[in-house]
């Protein structure tokens, strides 16, 4: 049986809408899922643009995409976690279960991790197969588009909630789609003051709608001076870094409060320089590197936020397009004028 799929066909910019074989041959622990919604991630954009990172990591051809929700339509003979008809989302890191980190439950840093849509075939298709271990069973009454963004939402939740942000001053550095989620999570957690730092006008306005009390544009203002002004000269309690921008990261050490906390998700190709003695050690800073999601603690937090209607997902998702219009979605993402972009496979029922 054939299905529509989006593949990274060759080692060059772009992607291709094509047909592929439905992956119906399942191992005993695998599940076949009909994709209901899939969303574009910054990683997909890197692969689409074929930048330095993706050219070293990805080996075409393979099906792209790693964020999705869908319905279980076939299960392997040893599957017990899900059943036919369940609406599921998926952890995208395929872990080995046998390395020292997996054995002590630290699956998010498994030394043999593979990522769907990067190292294996992904979900920009009508169907995908996944190990049952990775699946999250969802409430069937929730919009599949909302369910499809739980994986990146998990990145935002992991970043924002590692440290206590309730009634704290929080700086959210970089308001791409995950940073925008971070703003909204801070609002849900009732942070005392939410300061967003972003240069794109579209996302500046969206950050305000999602709960930022103050938005600072580094192209127009001195970020350090402005943050200190907004915090009575003390600095922020928590910095949540989503930008991966060298100068933005370096500036954050100047406006974080003594005893402050930093969650670092953004990835930079540059070497970051800061005054280790004065801006880190003598300030008593705690820094945490965020990788993926904690399995499955973070997913439980995400599920709770969605179930209790604590997030403005209707604002976070700014575009819905047919799966075949993936290139349009990529170009919108590249423009910066979007939140999350969701792709919907055509139903053949």
Catalytic positions: 43, 46
- Dihedral sign of CA atoms 158, 164, 167, 172 in order: negative
The HSE-up count of residue 330 (CA atoms within 13 Å, CB side) is 21
Listed in sequence order, the residues at least 6 apart from 141 whose beta carbon sits closer than 8 Å to its beta carbon are none
Q: How far, in Å, CA of 240 to CA of 265, rounded?
A: 8
Length, in residues, of the chain? 349
For the chain, give percent helix, strand, coil, nearest 5.
Answer: 35, 30, 40
Q: How far, in Å, CA of 255 to CA of 235, rounded?
A: 5
State both tokens at 63: 């099906």
- The full 3-state SS of 173-230, as one line of letters, equals ECCCHHHHHHHHHHHHCCCCEEEEECCCHHHHHHHHHCCCCEEECCCCCCHHHHHHHH
The secondary structure element, H or E, covering residue 75 is strand 67-75
């Amino acid at each position: 049986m054939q299905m529509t799929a989006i593949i990274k066909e060759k080692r060059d910019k772009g992607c291709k809408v094509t047909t592929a074989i439905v992956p119906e041959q399942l191992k005993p622990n695998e599940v076949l899922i009909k994709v209901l919604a899939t969303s574009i991630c910054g990683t997909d954009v890197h692969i689409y643009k074929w930048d330095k990172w993706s050219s070293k990591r990805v080996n075409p051809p393979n099906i792209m995409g790693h964020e999705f929700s869908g319905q279980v339509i076939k299960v392997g003979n040893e599957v017990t976690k899900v059943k036919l008809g369940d609406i599921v989302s998926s952890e995208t890191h395929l872990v080995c279960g046998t390395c020292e980190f997996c054995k002590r439950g630290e699956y998010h840093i498994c030394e043999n991790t593979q990522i769907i849509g990067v190292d294996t075939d992904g979900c920009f298709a009508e169907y995908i197969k996944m190990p049952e271990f990775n699946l999250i069973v969802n409430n069937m009454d929730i919009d599949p588009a909302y369910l499809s963004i739980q994986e990146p939402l998990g990145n935002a939740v992991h970043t924002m909630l590692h440290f206590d942000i309730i009634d704290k001053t929080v700086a959210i550095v970089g308001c791409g789609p995950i940073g925008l989620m971070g703003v909204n999570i801070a609002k849900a957690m009732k942070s005392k003051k939410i300061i967003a730092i972003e240069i794109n006008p579209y996302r500046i306005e969206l950050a305000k709608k999602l709960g930022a009390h103050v938005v600072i544009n580094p192209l127009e203002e001195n970020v350090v001076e402005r943050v200190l002004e907004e915090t009575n000269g003390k600095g922020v309690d928590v910095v949540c870094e989503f930008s991966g921008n060298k100068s933005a990261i370096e500036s954050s050490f100047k406006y974080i409060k003594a005893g402050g906390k930093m969650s670092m998700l953004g990835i930079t190709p540059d070497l970051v320089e800061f005054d280790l003695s004065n801006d880190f050690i003598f300030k008593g800073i705690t820094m945490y590197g965020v990788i993926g999601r904690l399995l499955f603690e973070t997913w439980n937090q995400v599920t709770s936020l969605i179930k209790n209607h604590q997030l403005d997902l209707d604002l976070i998702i700014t575009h819905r397009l047919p799966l075949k219009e993936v290139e349009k979605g990529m170009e919108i993402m590249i423009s910066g004028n979007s939140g999350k972009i969701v792709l919907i496979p055509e139903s053949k029922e």
